[in-house]
A and B are shown apart, each in its own frame.
Chain A
């Protein structure tokens, strides 16, 4: 039944002449009635073997999401064998367990509308099972079985290798992809687990046996965190998880060591990739920042709004709105969870305005560094960040994922919830101090990918530059 409202039912007194809508001026509206926002409560439990479980119920729809994070990412894989952890993750979700393999495994999931995905990251591999709640008792054990006892079928491995090879073949397809790939290598190092690629050579080293060894060593209960959100009952899910995961014993073999995330950082300076025929230049520039537990992190969040991530940011207003030089100029200061994040800037502009855009970026950075932020910058950034805070937790799945994220890296699980109280007292002087101390133009690694013959001048105007060959990165 549709609730159709009579158009006269709510007829109100109109005081304006037809066609001229202007009631309250939005600039003068007062919303000081904000009430403190408290995110949905998440319960934390522990299985008998020590696995931590986060739970948040929501019964509006008959859906459940189970997140299983395993500390078995690429950081445990030497650069020469890059791809081990990633491919293992994909084979687990596509190849099934040693009891139910490949096609039967996928039929069991897809025929019931379930999705079982892997998101391999540098430190963790994240698995997620997204299903109708009525299928939880049948499908959760199936997915967990694949994680604990993967089938690792040879045929699936070959398919995954072909897919990686195809991606590798297309790696120099367009200037944007090349710029983004090289940039992270300049910042974190060519061999960094956060920046490196899977290559034909590293793929050759991956076998069923070696994957099995990696799994045996690194997939272990002490590396696992679980989160469940949606339409379930606490007692039932805990019983189910205990059955599936609670009897998982720690293996005797030691896990592979975690390698350094930052292997080398390129020297500050200009790096150029000439791309004849490109009609738009990709500019990426930045340097390492700090970790999220750094006391400057709240400043960084506001600075990001002011510098390059909001519609009122300097980059947006100057580069896009005023000069029309780019569609989506973007800049940010991130705080890494285990290693430093970055101060980064990304701009795409037509070849003939490459130097103009670079000059403008320099001016914006230099102005913030020497002049700090204005009172208006600070006010609008604070208002924006603080009033958007509830959106961070707009869905139950987001609350669960947030808690799992901070827990896994030993931050307080309510880390994000504490930020508003750290942001509120920040002053113009605090922000000015941050900008002058943190911004170091001389430290920028500036990567320019474009058709140099169409630039509006020589890149040498900005100093010495090094020409890069994309095939070597």
Chain B
């Protein structure tokens, strides 16, 4: 045993009983490393191929946005690929001044439009803005940040923004690990949000593609918005069109300075690396990032739902039904029982709802249930497609009827064991992929439960009885506090 690993074991924190099962072995293979500034690293060695996947999870998502600024977290995610003070520019010192001029020109133009200034004034200010944009672009080395990764064999270079997190990921040949350290430490410390105005246009195209030009996207956005009264989970992650048009570089910078603080960030590294060798490299690149104040806590709490919320749209060609019951945030003691409940009643072709509504009564062409948890709340969700002979309302009632048979027809041990078996395979599926493993480790480390939950949850699930699952069903499936979305076929 080398001295580094000995050191790791000597300073180990025992939080779990070590078992003989695979998940215990996996827990033991994760090396945890925390810097003085609070940034955390999780390392998992796998030497099958000379590749390493890295995922950086930042505990900052659309829930951290405020009115007028929706879409900000996602906007920052896009702009984080535009480079730094050295990458993506020919001369940042000069470029910086041009960016300030550009922002002032945009603000003047924007204010003129908003205040209803005359056409000629708006035209002049628009031309001025365009001119400043052209000047600033002269300093840009377009795509340099991404190009460095790609020419080094980077695959899967991307990022995503959710309600709670923003994640940055890439897989590289493992001998390029230091390149990732250099790139990401620079991006976390010295980002320059250049090309902001053209990137905003790109994001608006993304919004058109995912939402405005897609009946399913529009339907989901509407359904989500009625499911929350107060909490920012009801706002679209990509943002409202009007807010996006208004976001300024200073907004992005403020959000970055507030939430992209080391203690809000975990990086997971999974693949063909040796923890012993890479930890000094990590220290060298990421330790200089200064510690910063804790970001503000989200105060808004979704109040108890007083009644049924409903949205109905006729914009598509394919009827759909969504239904949601509020549940619990991640880390709540009822979370696992709710996960099992969703699996038994609505996952797979052996689930109760599939057998009853697709096979026996032929009311649906598909149906599924899931239990989703986020940092601040969760939901038991049902999605279904009615057959031609069924209306969405009839299908909604049929689901409710089936759910109400649970007390007379309680969940059995056999059903629960089947759900656990599926859970186990699904867990191994995630673990088997460097990328997914890194994704889970980084995200859950910033979550309410900690990364160990990935592996320990199944052991906790095995302790749950059918009676406990029934108790959660009784507690959370309340037809009077559901949200319902119905998409009907558009009339020609």
Q: Say yes or no for B14: interface residue by CB 8 A criterion.
A: yes
Q: Say yes or no for A60: interface residue by CB 8 A criterion.
A: yes
Give the most central of B154, B182, B213: most A CB within 10 Å: B213
Q: How far is the CB of B51 from chain A (nearest CB, A)?
A: 6
Q: How far is the CB of B12 from chain A (nearest CB, A)?
A: 5
Q: Is the CB of B11 within 8 A of A396?
A: no
Q: Is the CB of B318 within 8 A of A115?
A: no
Q: How far is the CB of A460 from chain B (nearest CB, A)?
A: 24
A residues contacting B by CB (< 8 A) are: 1-7, 9-12, 14, 16-27, 29, 31, 33-35, 37, 40, 58, 60-63, 94, 103, 106-107, 110-115, 130-132, 155, 158-159, 162-163, 165-166, 169-176, 278-280, 310-312, 316-317, 320-328, 348-350, 379-380, 383-384, 386-391, 393-396
Given contacts A9-B7, A111-B418, A312-B150, contact A3 B12 (CB under 8 A): yes
Give the most central of A10, A17, A63: most B CB within 10 Å: A10
Q: Is the CB of B432 within 8 A of A60?
A: yes
Q: Is the CB of B288 within 8 A of A14?
A: yes
- The one of B178, B355, B422 that contacts A103, using a Cβ cutoff of 8 Å: B355
Q: Is the CB of B153 within 8 A of A388?
A: yes
Residue of B nearest to A61 (CB): B428
Q: Is the CB of A110 within 8 A of B428?
A: no
- The one of B33, B171, B205, B387 that contacts A394, using a Cβ cutoff of 8 Å: B171
- CB-CB < 8 A to B308: which residues of A? none
A181 to B371: give the CA distance in the assembly, Å.
Answer: 34
Q: Say yes or no for B32: interface residue by CB 8 A criterion.
A: yes
A2 to B18: give the CA distance in the assembly, Å.
Answer: 10
Q: Say yes or no for B63: interface residue by CB 8 A criterion.
A: no
Given contacts A20-B288, A173-B318, A175-B213, contact A390 B199 (CB under 8 A): no
Q: Say yes or no for B147: interface residue by CB 8 A criterion.
A: yes
Q: Is the CB of A29 within 8 A of B178?
A: yes
- CB-CB < 8 A to B418: which residues of A? 107, 110-113
B residues contacting A by CB (< 8 A) are: 5, 7-9, 11-16, 18, 22, 27-28, 30-36, 46, 48-51, 86-87, 142-143, 146-155, 157, 171, 173, 175-176, 178-179, 182-183, 185-186, 188-190, 195, 197-206, 208-209, 212-216, 279-280, 283-290, 316-318, 348-350, 355, 358-359, 362, 365-366, 385, 387-388, 414, 417-418, 420-426, 428-429, 431-434, 452, 489
Q: Is the CB of B422 within 8 A of A110?
A: yes
- CB-CB < 8 A to A25: which residues of B? 86, 182
Q: Is the CB of B33 within 8 A of A5?
A: yes
Q: Knowing that A3-B9, A390-B51 touch, tell me 7 more A-B residue pairs with CB under 8 angstroms.
A: A1-B28, A5-B8, A23-B284, A29-B182, A40-B49, A162-B365, A387-B151
- CB-CB < 8 A to A17: which residues of B? 288
A64 to B13: give the CA distance in the assembly, Å.
Answer: 34
- CB-CB < 8 A to B30: which residues of A? 2-3
Q: Is the CB of B189 within 8 A of A34?
A: no
- CB-CB < 8 A to A31: which residues of B? 152, 173, 175-176, 179
Q: How far is the CB of A292 from chain B (nearest CB, A)?
A: 21
A155 to B285: give the CA distance in the assembly, Å.
Answer: 62
A170 to B365: give the CA distance in the assembly, Å.
Answer: 13
Q: How far is the CB of A113 from chain B (nearest CB, A)?
A: 3
Q: Is the CB of A110 within 8 A of B16?
A: no
Q: How far is the CB of A100 from chain B (nearest CB, A)?
A: 14
Q: Is the CB of A1 within 8 A of B214?
A: no
Q: Is the CB of A174 within 8 A of B216?
A: yes
A358 to B39: give the CA distance in the assembly, Å.
Answer: 46
- The one of B214, B355, B420 that contacts A176, using a Cβ cutoff of 8 Å: B214
Q: Is the CB of A317 within 8 A of B22?
A: no
- CB-CB < 8 A to B188: which residues of A? 21
- CB-CB < 8 A to A159: which residues of B? 358-359, 362
- CB-CB < 8 A to B15: which residues of A? 2
Q: How far is the CB of B235 from chain A (nearest CB, A)?
A: 20
- The one of A4, A12, A63, A106 that contacts B8, using a Cβ cutoff of 8 Å: A4
Q: Is the CB of B48 within 8 A of A40?
A: yes
Q: Is the CB of A110 within 8 A of B349?
A: yes
Residue of B nearest to A158 (CB): B362
Q: Is the CB of B182 within 8 A of A61?
A: no
- CB-CB < 8 A to B87: which residues of A? 26-27
Q: Is the CB of A170 within 8 A of B316?
A: yes
Q: How far is the CB of A18 from chain B (nearest CB, A)?
A: 5
Give the most central of B13, B27, B48: most A CB within 10 Å: B48
Q: How far is the CB of B273 from chain A (nearest CB, A)?
A: 14
Q: How far is the CB of A397 from chain B (nearest CB, A)?
A: 8
Q: Is the CB of B157 within 8 A of A311?
A: yes
Given contacts A110-B422, A111-B418, A395-B48, contact A166 B388 (CB under 8 A): yes
A23 to B148: give the CA distance in the assembly, Å.
Answer: 16
- The one of A26, A158, A326 that contacts B182, using a Cβ cutoff of 8 Å: A26
8 nearest interchain CB pairs?
Answer: A387-B153, A170-B318, A324-B201, A113-B421, A324-B198, A311-B146, A327-B206, A3-B8
- CB-CB < 8 A to B183: which residues of A? 26
A113 to B154: give the CA distance in the assembly, Å.
Answer: 34
- CB-CB < 8 A to B190: which residues of A? 20-22
Residue of A nearest to B360 (CB): A155
- The one of B154, B171, B209 that contacts A328, using a Cβ cutoff of 8 Å: B209
Q: Is the CB of A61 within 8 A of B387?
A: no
Residue of B nearest to A347 (CB): B205
A162 to B364: give the CA distance in the assembly, Å.
Answer: 9
- The one of A62, A155, A311 that contacts B150, using a Cβ cutoff of 8 Å: A311
Q: Is the CB of A19 within 8 A of B12?
A: no
- CB-CB < 8 A to B283: which residues of A? 10-12
A328 to B155: give the CA distance in the assembly, Å.
Answer: 16
Given contacts A162-B362, A170-B318, contact A130 B425 (CB under 8 A): yes
- CB-CB < 8 A to A60: which residues of B? 46, 48, 432
Given contacts A166-B387, A322-B198, contact A173 B316 (CB under 8 A): yes
A389 to B195: give the CA distance in the assembly, Å.
Answer: 32
Q: How far is the CB of A317 from chain B (nearest CB, A)?
A: 6
Residue of B nearest to A324 (CB): B201
- CB-CB < 8 A to A115: which residues of B? 425
- The one of B48, B212, B280 that contacts A396, using a Cβ cutoff of 8 Å: B48
- The one of A311, A349, A386, A388 that contacts B147, using a Cβ cutoff of 8 Å: A311
Give the most central of B49, B51, B152, B203: most A CB within 10 Å: B49
Residue of A nearest to B348 (CB): A110
Q: Is the CB of A132 within 8 A of B152?
A: no
Residue of B nearest to A9 (CB): B7
Q: List 24 A-B contacts (CB under 8 A).
A: A3-B8, A9-B7, A17-B288, A19-B290, A21-B188, A21-B190, A21-B286, A40-B48, A63-B429, A159-B362, A162-B362, A169-B489, A174-B214, A280-B209, A311-B143, A324-B205, A380-B147, A380-B150, A383-B151, A387-B151, A388-B155, A390-B51, A393-B49, A394-B171
A195 to B198: give the CA distance in the assembly, Å.
Answer: 36
A6 to B8: give the CA distance in the assembly, Å.
Answer: 8
Residue of A nearest to B157 (CB): A311
Q: How far is the CB of B459 from chain A (nearest CB, A)?
A: 15
